[in-house]
Amino acid sequence: MRIVHLTDSMSNTANGIVNVVVDLATTQAAQGHEVWVVSAGGDWYDLLHAHGVSTAEVDFSRRAPRQLPATLRRVRGLLRRLDPDVVHSHTLTPAVLASVAAPRVPSVATVHNEFQRGVGVMGLSDAVVCVSGAVERAMQRRPLARRKTCTVTNATIGSPRRPGRPAAADLGHPAVVAVGSVTRRKGSDVLVAAFGRVAEAHPDAQLWFVGNVDEPDTLEAAAGAPWRDRVHTVGSVADPRPHLYGADIAVTASRRDPFPLVVGEQREAGLACVVSSADGLPEAVDHGAAGLVFPSGDVDALARALDHLLGDETARAELGGRARRGLERAHVTRMTGEYLAVYDRLLAEGRRR
């Protein structure tokens, strides 16, 4: 099968959409498919080429009224030349342009961020793949996507982006880690507030934020606090796993989060995982079987969970063991197989061609 993936960028900036495209394209190529990735380029192109994936460049950010016709011509010309069996878009502009440039080619769009403005236009594609059941339920309310949706949850274990097991970072113990941008959407303020409530009772506990500090005010609860020196920010890193293997507890306190890849990595590291009830996060921990789930935004509930886990090493170990069960669902081969099944269904139905 000849598969063309369209997305904005292939830069290694800890972007979950980019990482899914890399994992999907390389795994599909390893299974014998002819795979192309079309984007504005980026440093992941070397890895793609090393795994047999071909690339081409289109700058999908050129979508201003004066620029869009030229971008459309570029996409139309590429798709005519490549003659794909399936076009798979991962962001909004590529999905719209693919539907116009190649209306007879079966098209798939993955909705990574359902809360993004204008996401309903991805329903112009023949199949709308949602990264969690929560995202699918939301997309079914979008007129263009209705009756086109299915769910394929994200997976990252086995990715060529993550060769081998890295050495653990020295974070101190017990260490709580949160991977992702430091923002209100990621619930960074909720986590800092909860940590503050238990910091005195657990004087050795450390809190680490691994990700860009995009909204510094979310950390202001730590400013001037006696425990402020135990709150650490390290910025964005290409591979968060050293921090995961050096930690004891992983918290994802998001207010919105479709299905973050890092939860699978946290589970693989055997961490005691705590997630909020937002969007697809409960699904990422098998609805509580592989981690604790607290109500999104509830500082008290998160503080209780942290107090319990920080004070009970046996409880941490038990929850970490639960996290490692059922990890086959978090493997890239499972995700790839389910996407290929979507492609096969469209081709069997004779969509457009």
3-state secondary structure of 149: strand
108 in any annotated domain: yes
pLDDT single digits (tens) 155-192: 999 999 998 899 999 999 999 999 999 999 999 999 99
Q: How many domains is the chain partitioned into structurally?
A: 2
CA angle 297, 299, 305 (to 5 degrees): 110
**pLDDT > 70 fraction of the chain, expressed in percent and rounded:** 99
Cβ atoms < 10 Å from Cβ of 192:
26
274 in any annotated domain: yes
Cβ atoms 4, 36 nearer than 8 A = yes
The C-alpha atoms of residue 348 and residue 333 are separated, in whole angstroms, by 22
pLDDT at 74 over 80: yes
Same domain, 185 and 271: yes
Same domain, 335 and 246: no
144 in any annotated domain: yes
- Mean pLDDT of all residues in 226-239: 96
pLDDT single digits (tens) 279-325: 999 999 999 999 999 999 999 999 999 999 999 999 999 999 999 99
Same domain, 287 and 339: no
pLDDT at 353 over 60: no
Same domain, 148 and 6: yes
Same domain, 189 and 146: no
Same domain, 288 and 336: no
Q: What is the mean pLDDT of the chain?
A: 96
Q: What is the CATH number of the domain that holds 127?
A: 3.40.50.2000
pLDDT band for position 65 (50/70/90)?
A: confident
pLDDT at 352 over 60: no
pLDDT single digits (tens) 129-165: 999 999 999 999 999 999 999 999 999 999 999 988 9
- Contacts of 132-139 with C-beta under 8 Å, sequence gap 24+, read 132/258, 132/259, 132/279, 132/280, 132/283, 132/284, 133/280, 133/283, 134/258, 134/279, 134/280, 134/283, 135/111, 135/258, 135/259, 135/279, 135/280, 138/114, 139/111, 139/114
Same domain, 68 and 151: yes
Same domain, 133 and 189: no
Same domain, 317 and 339: no
Per DSSP, 163 falls in state -
Same domain, 203 and 121: no
pLDDT band for position 351 (50/70/90)?
A: low
Same domain, 43 and 189: no
- Mean pLDDT of all residues in 212-230: 96
| Residue 46 pLDDT | 98
Domain extent for 97: 2-155+331-348
